[in-house]
Structure formats: structure tokens, C-alpha cells
Chains A and B, each alone.
Chain A
């Protein structure tokens, strides 16, 4: 049986998404095991029983890493989706609601992008009391600008296209023009932008947690795990950083890969770029 590239890509996409879903669900079901301390098994190197070893409080690093990745994926999904929706709303508004609104949203984008990303994220997270809420609000406020610019440009371009102008001349209503003629063209850009926001959000979640402005230390989060591991690297506990670090990299690469595949599937012309 021959499988064309499109089908192969779809299979890979389904596999990648399934893998991420497995980690997401395993982490949610595994939170108690990830937080369980047992001082009788502390600082154990990787073994069959503890594939990623144990830490200084005897926590199972495999369970902790899975739960951490799950937490990252949850935060990534939540923040990327809402950020993309904010970007869609503001980008569209800038394009269709007149010059004043366009100038204001442009100014807002410049303002937020003008402040160093990680600094703004830390400030917002701290001001919102850190933790899950602080991180989510922080990422939401700092990850919508690039996609908003793309959406704005797309909408402006669509407004000038012949079929939209003809539809308007024929008396088609604004709402119908947007839903019937514009949205189908925006969906691929929106979806790809949304998927590519995931790895960005996950890395930033891990970064600010690593710096102490994110999740609380008892939480199983990759940023917490990496931050704590620094103290023990000099004592030879390399497994505390290596496995969670590589796992985080893999998840980010996987999301990036899914984004690339989704782009090719939704916008086949991009495959020739």
C-alpha cells in the first residue's frame, strides 16, 4: 500500500498529538505520585525502578517530569489558545474598525513588544501573585502581538481582494462577507500561529518558574525541577537536570514539528517555500 506524503504527514501528526495527549493525561493522573516525598529513597541514580532517578527529598523524578511536562502542556494549551483569540480579535479590529482603532492597537503592540519579553512576563506574574494564575496572565498579556500583526495584515489584504469587493458591491452584508469570504482564508494562518505559540508559552513558563517568579517549589514543574537541580549538580546528581531538560526540549521540538506539519496541510502552497 502506497502512502502519499500528505497521508504520512497526517499519521505523524496524529501520533505526535496522541503522544502529547498521553503525557497530558498521565501527568494529571500522576500528580500525587509526583509530589510524594520519601526520604528513604533520596538521591538515587536512574534505575529500572526509578528511570529518571530520585531527588533530595526522595521524589520519583520520572513521575515528577511527566507531571511537569503535563503542567507545561496545560499551561501552553490554555495560554496559546487564549493568546491566539486575543490576537485574532485585536488583529481583525485593527484592520476593519478604522484608522483610530488601527493606530491605537498598533501603538499597543509596539508598547508591549518594546519591553523585554521575559521582564514583562516576570513583572506581570509577580504582580498577579505568581503561581498558575500569575503565569497564565503573564503569558496571555505578552504572547498575542506577533499573531495579531499577521492577522491584521491578512485582513487588510483580504479587504482589497476582488471577490470581497464584488461581494460588497452586490450588497452582501458585512457579517456574511466576514464569515463566508474572509474567515476561511484566516483559519490556516490562525491555526498555525496558535500551534506555534505552544512551544513559546511552554518555554516561557519554564523560564520564569526557573527564575522563581512562577510556580511554587513543591509543584511538579520543569522550571522548578531544573532550578532545584542546580544545587545538586556539583554533588554528581546529573539526572536531576538531564532527563527533565531533554524531555522539555523534546516536547518543544514536537510542538514545533506539529506546527510545521499543520502549516503544510492547511496551506499546501507553503510546502514549496
Chain B
């Protein structure tokens, strides 16, 4: 796919997005040290996508409840730990709450809760619901004459949930063109490699067959990723929903996590966390 040059971010933007993706990874390590267990690698595969959306592509406001804001839903809610620092950075959430992540009474848990955490557009945790929530938001926007875009990040393991395909059918049938699904195709689910446990291929062809416009992109290339997201968001002529299959690496940025599926859930002792931090700081993605 050839992108017009004007969708490509400039060097300054790219540097900022890389910095924010690094910030997401470092904060994730810090917060999980407090919880003593968490989903590092699920955040690391999505860090560039989070950065591109929240620091460039999405239409946002200082008011996290602004009705015309773009929405971002997390089908893979277990990566919420990577989003909370962004919400604090945006000024929606008291940064001091991060220091008490998951402790008794904290609004911040392993999964996002819209009733407790400003910035969360919809709660999640039960895999498979989020695309349907996004279908409802897209309907709501259209009925109210609002032009916001609803982005829904889905895990690749989530493709195994039947409800995803109910929502995909519904969105295409009703021409919900302001709905964008992003599949974080990092290749691993809890029990192991996705295509070993329950194959989901041919993934892009499945979405095409369901009537969606489909794009594939390197989910760790901030330039290509941001350009694609900008273009998809700007396209007002599209008459169908859009799915982006983002090819990513689970655990991206910390080398041993990229090759070891067991890191879906885990804990880094302080000295290992320090080494992981160093690798994240010293490696350019």
C-alpha cells in the first residue's frame, strides 16, 4: 500500500511517539513491581499503538468525557496497566494513584473500569465483548450526528471468541464506517502460541470475508503505523468498518520476553526489572 506523504509523521513527532512508547513500557515495569504480578508482554506488543493513538491520532480533549472524543476500547483489557500512565500523563487521572496500583481501594486494577478510572471509555476484562461495545458506540455516534471514531484493540487470541464475529458481521451489515478494529497480532495467548493452541489464520482474509476494509502493518514501526492510523481516521468516504492487523512481538523491547511465551503473565524481581529498564532505554524501536 502506498501512503500519501502527508500522512507520515515528521521526525519530531516520531521522536515524541518513540519516547511515549518507551514511557509506557517503563511505567508498566514500575506499576507491576507494586502489584507483584502483571501482563508486561501484552503491553509491550501494543506500546507503539498506544502512543500513536493517544499522542497523535485520536481526537481528545482535557475532558475525558467530552462527547465528541474518539474512543479507545480494550478487548485485551489485561494490558490496561500500560494505559493508566497515559491517562495520568494526559491529566485525566491523579498520577499519585499510579503509586498505589492494585492496592486495596485503588481504582486501578489489572483490567480497566470505566466507573472508577477517568479516561477508560469502556470497562473490559471478559475477552470478546469490546468490539460489540464499539458497535454500539458507532451506532450512537451516527444516530447523534457525531463524527468520532471508535478504535477497538483486540488481542489475536481474542479472535477465538465467537462474539467478535457476531460484532464483525453486525458492523459490516450496518456500514459502521467510523469503527476501527486493531488486532494486536503478537502471536501468543496465555497457554502458548496462538496458531498452535487454536489457529486463527487466515486472519486478514477472514476480516475481508466479513466485509471489512483490511490493512496490515508493522505494529512497532511508528512511522508506518501512525501514517496508517491517520489515513484510516481521516477517510470519510469509507462505507464499511476497517480492521488493521498490526504485526507485533509479544514482549517487544525486552529480548527474553520476545521469545518466551510464559511471559504473558509474570513478575520481574528488582534487579531483573532494572536490566529490563536498561534494555528499553538503550534500544531504539
To the question of whether A and B form a pair in one complex, the answer is: no
